[in-house]
């Protein structure tokens, strides 16, 4: 715990950091919702709420570890190439290097079947994996939240029609649809981001719609209605803020899932087209040589995928615990 207290963002006050989960949090829950609704005054308490969320988050050591891993990988992939120069796109430039070379001076993680340096390739492919992961999760979350909140708020036949559409797309096993689409359209990084987002916005839509259905009959939403609050205000100021836990947690997990989805596409040979690469495509190339004992072509990319995905899941779970106010009160 000691290292955690020195965190610059959430203060060094050890006495508050050590508080058990349930203490000092009661005022942030439903009484506030009831009282504050007329002025929409939750925002005045915002700082306090975020500090409390941060406090619970920071108490979760796994989450701190996860956050450190993610930051480390982002630095590794985007700052790393500035310090460790390798050529990852020009096959001519690596003609002289040994192919499938074991780790050696000059190539700390060996070389792949073309002769590209694997440490450098891990950074280069990692950029693609991280960009695709974060970008498609962002697109998916925004679309899904708006769609789900709208459907849940209106209810009735609008809701039924919108959710049948979601059901329809959700019923299709994603990879089959992805492969059908990638076979028909030629693939590029932007297209893959959009295709992954296209199959991923459905889950948040369903989650937020469900949340909205329960939230819209709550007393404080009815109070807004009675006072003449319109749909946009109810959705924007009450339903979405109250669903923010679900949204943030989903988005975190979705980054992980998008990275995995891209890796799966890469493994099956439908990923980022050459000369680009991603961790999944690297793994695929390595797995082809699984029988040769060239471990350095499998483990670096595999471990990178697992570490990033696990780290994102740690953070997502901690966020879930710290945002789920009801759980803190027990």
Q: Cβ contacts of residue 171 below 8 Å, gap of 6+?
A: none
Helix (H/G/I), strand (E/B), else coil: 24 = coil
> Would you say 94 or 315 has its CB closer to another protein?
315
Q: Quote the DSSP letter at residue 22.
A: T
- Among 178, 150, 181, residue whose Cα is nearest residue 163: 150
Q: Is 194 in the site for another protein (CB under 8 A)?
A: no
Q: Is 247 in the site for another protein (CB under 8 A)?
A: no
Count of CB atoms within 10 A of residue 258's CB?
28
Chain Cα centroid distance, residue 215: 25
Q: Is 297 in the site for another protein (CB under 8 A)?
A: no
| Cα gap 49→327, rounded to integer Å | 15
**Cβ(119)–Cβ(107) below 8 Å:** yes
> Would you say 77 or 298 has its CB closer to another protein?
298
x/- map, 212-241, another protein, by CB under 8 A: -x----------------------------
Range in contact with another protein (rule: CB under 8 A) among 31-39, 51-59, 74-82, 319-327? 319-327
**Residue whose entry in the numeric block shows the structure tokens 């006050």:** 13
- Name the minimum Å distance from CB 137 to another protein: 15
x/- map, 161-190, another protein, by CB under 8 A: ---xx-xxxxxxxxxxx-xxxxxxx-----
Range in contact with another protein (rule: CB under 8 A) among 35-43, 119-127, 238-246, 255-263? 255-263
Helix and strand counts by DSSP (H, E) for the chain: 17, 0
x/- map, 68-107, another protein, by CB under 8 A: ----------------------------------------
Joined tokens for residue 269? 């040979």
Angstrom CA distances, 95 to 108, 115, 220, 296, stand at: 18, 7, 68, 20
Q: Is 310 in the site for another protein (CB under 8 A)?
A: yes
Helix (H/G/I), strand (E/B), else coil: 20 = coil
Task: List residues binding another protein (CB under 8 A).
Answer: 155-156, 159, 164-165, 167-177, 179-185, 203, 206, 213, 256, 260, 263-264, 267-270, 280, 283-284, 287, 290-291, 298, 302, 305-306, 309-310, 313-314, 317, 320, 324, 326-327, 330
């Amino acid at each position: 715990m000691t290292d955690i207290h020195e965190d610059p963002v959430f203060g060094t006050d050890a006495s508050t950091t050590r508080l058990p989960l349930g203490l000092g949090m009661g005022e942030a829950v439903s009484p506030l919702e009831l009282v504050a609704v007329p002025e929409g005054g939750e925002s005045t308490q915002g700082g306090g709420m975020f500090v409390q969320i941060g406090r619970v988050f920071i108490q979760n050591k796994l989450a701190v570890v996860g956050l450190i891993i993610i930051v480390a990988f982002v630095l590794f992939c985007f700052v790393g190439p500035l310090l460790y120069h390798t050529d990852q796109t020009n096959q001519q430039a690596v003609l002289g290097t040994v192919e499938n070379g074991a780790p050696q001076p000059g190539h700390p993680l060996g070389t792949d079947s073309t002769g590209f340096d694997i440490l450098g390739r891990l950074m280069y492919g990692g950029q693609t994996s991280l960009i695709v992961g974060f970008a498609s999760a962002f697109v998916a979350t925004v679309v899904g939240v708006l769609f789900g909140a709208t459907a849940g708020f209106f209810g009735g036949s609008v809701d039924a029609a919108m959710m049948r559409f979601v059901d329809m797309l959700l019923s299709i096993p994603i990879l089959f649809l992805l492969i059908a689409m990638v076979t028909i359209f030629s693939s590029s990084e932007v297209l893959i981001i959009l295709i992954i987002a296209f199959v991923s916005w459905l889950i948040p839509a369903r989650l937020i719609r469900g949340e909205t259905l329960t939230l819209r009959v709550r007393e404080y939403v009815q109070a807004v209605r009675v006072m003449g609050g319109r749909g946009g205000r109810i959705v924007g100021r009450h339903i979405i803020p109250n669903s923010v836990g679900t949204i943030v947690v989903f988005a975190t997990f979705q980054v992980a899932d998008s990275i995995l989805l891209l890796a799966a596409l890469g493994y099956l040979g439908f990923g980022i087209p050459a000369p680009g690469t991603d961790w999944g495509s690297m793994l695929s190339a390595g797995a082809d040589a699984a029988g040769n004992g060239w471990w350095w072509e499998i483990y670096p990319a595999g471990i990178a995928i697992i570490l990033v995905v696990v780290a994102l899941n740690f953070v997502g779970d901690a966020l879930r615990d710290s945002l789920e106010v009801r759980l803190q009160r027990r």
